[in-house]
Amino acid sequence: MEIRMTRFRTARSAAVAITAALLLPLAACATDNAAPAPTSTATTPISGEFDALETEFDAHLGVFGIDTGSGRTVEHRADERFAYASTSKALLAGVILATTAPADLELRIKYTSADLVANSPISEQHLADGITLREVLDAALRYSDNTAANHMFARLGGPKGVERNLRALGDNVTQMDRTETALNEAIPGDTRDTSTPRALAADLRKYLLDSALTPEARAILTDMMRRNTTGGELIRAGVPADWQVADKTGSAAYGTRNDIAVLWPPNRAPIVLTVLSTRAKQDASYDNALLAKAAKIAVQELN
């Protein structure tokens, strides 16, 4: 809108002008004494690019990323619920490390073939000798071993025991109801075993970057997640090769494909990024390229 200056033509107008002039210094003082505006933590306006990915891959996509240095965020359906699938193993490991003395990580867990569930490549090798709690963490985080996840659930009092620990952490969103592999049912609209991109990012930040864990425990979690073997085609594929990445992937029915990560760009504060996705049909497949492309868009906007 264009504003034009005009002459005051009446005595009344002149009086108004004089009054306004006298009040200007007071207004300036009030402005000077006001609290400074907070530093911008803007959300980048790029939902259109994520909408295009949803169309391209016929999928429902949720993204939350935050530059922990600037506070700037990237969001798309950040507060919608998605089945978390095996990304929950990072939370399980975080709770284990927060509640377990270092020496107890060497405790050996014995189990039988009746305890094995699908996709347990490490656990199935140790039926005879058992597995230590430290090895349970490694199997769950690096190989997404489902039996290892159930060992953690059992130690923590089941899904609701884990949920109570998350509530104490400040997560009032994530809902834990079932163990592996039932939690992978992922029916659209079912709130069981779900979370949001924003909530998962907050949890991961607390465990990997903030003070939810001791430095020793945080180093264990970070090291294992950096050496994850299942995420090469997901967030890792969407970020520059010289960035360090600690991530945990997940997949489930309805084409569910997820990845949650902390990224360390060279000489910069870390970025926390969660990318969750699902499709309409129960037997739908997933495409890792969706997550890689979403990650690339997110980090370009935050970079």
Catalytic sites, residue numbers: 86, 180
The runs of H, that is alpha helices, within the chain are 11-33, 47-57, 88-99, 133-143, 146-155, 158-169, 197-208, 215-226, 288-302
Closest C-alpha to 268, from 299, 303, 235, 296: 303
User: How many angstroms separate the CA atoms of 294 and 72, rounded?
Assistant: 17
CB 274 within 8 A of CB 88: no
- Length of the chain equals 303
Whole-number Å distance between alpha carbons of 300 and 303: 5
SS3 category, 75: strand
Angle in degrees, 0-180, between the axes of helices 288-302 and 47-57, rounded to the nearest 10: 170
H or E element that contains 264? strand 256-264
131-132 and 194-195 beta bridge pairing: unpaired
Beta bridge partners of 82: 195
